[in-house]
């Protein structure tokens, strides 16, 4: 079974600085999809960024980018120019090539200091 | 654009009571999912459906039932509420089985069993 591990229960970053959230996963598949979701206190689950395993180029979405290391099974999220609105729980999630199910990590709480 | 709508937002149940959590989506998505999120944890899949009339178990199905009589609706039923079912429940939907399509989440239902 696939597993997703987020080893940082909590992270802090100063406003305008950069922070990296870690995620590792375990799978025997060669083709799969990885996601980062943001969950603010409102409890909404908001898609931040996604990466397709067959693409070598790291995904970017404005201030959000990933460092996808397929051989190491690592998928970290970098947030540049952090803003107060970035404060939330961040979840890393895995989805296999044929299944319809997301496997989530335990989450990382990100606190942004002004 | 309503997206995925869950009702109720909060509910307190007594042990042994039953209730149905409602979920409806207006995006004509054929895939729908129910997750539970325990405190400080990631989401775990309870049940999912790939279309009207078709449902399947996820990772933690015990104590729950689902039905999918229409494309729009995917209710989750708790027959005999137990304290272990105290959690936040999320419904989600997605367009098709293409894995890179994100799941769209509702705002969640906070359920307490006392």
B40 Cβ under 8 Å from any chain A Cβ:
yes
Q: What is the pLDDT of residues B30-43, one digit of tens each?
A: 999 999 999 878 89
If you average pLDDT over every residue of chain A, what do you get?
93
If you average pLDDT over every residue of chain B, what do you get?
92
- Report the distance separating Cα A67 and Cα A79, nearest Å: 11
Closest CA of chain B from A82, distance in Å: 23
pLDDT at B103 over 90: no
Whole-number Cα distances in Å, B75 to A36, A57, A64, B113: 27, 40, 35, 19
pLDDT of residue A99: 63
pLDDT at A25 over 80: yes
pLDDT at B112 over 80: yes
The boundaries of the domain holding residue B20 are 4-113
Q: Where residue B54 sits, what CATH number does that domain have? A: 2.60.40.10
B21, B109 contact by CB (below 8 A): yes
Residue with the bigger pLDDT between B113 and B98: it is: B113
Fold of domain A3-113: Immunoglobulin-like (2.60.40)
Pairing of strands B87-94, A10-14: unpaired
Q: What is the domain count for chain B?
A: 1
Residue with the bigger pLDDT between B63 and A1: it is: B63
Residues in A touching B107 (Cβ below 8 Å): 42-44
pLDDT grade for A16, boundaries at 50, 70 and 90: very high
- Report the distance separating Cα B90 and Cα B104, nearest Å: 10
- C-beta atoms of A44 and B97 within 8 A: no
pLDDT of residue B99: 64
Residues in B touching A106 (Cβ below 8 Å): 40-42
Closest CA of chain B from A53, distance in Å: 10
B94 Cβ under 8 Å from any chain A Cβ:
yes
A95, A111 contact by CB (below 8 A): no
């Amino acid at each position: 079974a696939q597993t997703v591990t987020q080893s940082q229960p909590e992270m802090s970053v100063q406003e305008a600085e950069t922070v990296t959230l870690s995620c590792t996963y375990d799978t025997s598949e060669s083709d799969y999809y990885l996601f980062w979701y943001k969950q603010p206190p409102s409890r909404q689950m908001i898609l931040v960024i996604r990466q397709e395993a067959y693409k070598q180029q790291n995904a970017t979405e404005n201030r959000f980018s990933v460092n996808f290391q397929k051989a190491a099974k690592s998928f970290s999220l970098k947030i540049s120019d952090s803003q107060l609105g970035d404060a939330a729980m961040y979840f890393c999630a895995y989805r296999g090539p044929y299944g319809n199910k997301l496997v989530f990590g335990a989450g990382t709480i990100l606190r942004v200091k002004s | 654009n309503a997206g995925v709508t869950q009702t109720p937002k909060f509910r307190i149940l007594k042990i042994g009571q039953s209730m149905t959590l409602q979920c409806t989506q207006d995006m004509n998505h054929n895939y729908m999912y129910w997750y539970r999120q325990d405190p400080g944890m990631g989401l775990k899949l309870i049940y999912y459906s790939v279309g009207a009339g078709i449902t399947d178990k996820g990772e933690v199905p015990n104590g729950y039932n689902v039905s999918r009589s229409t494309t729009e609706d995917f209710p989750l039923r708790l027959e005999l509420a137990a304290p272990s079912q105290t959690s936040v429940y999320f419904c989600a939907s997605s367009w098709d089985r293409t894995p890179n399509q994100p799941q769209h989440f509702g705002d969640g239902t906070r359920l307490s069993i006392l």
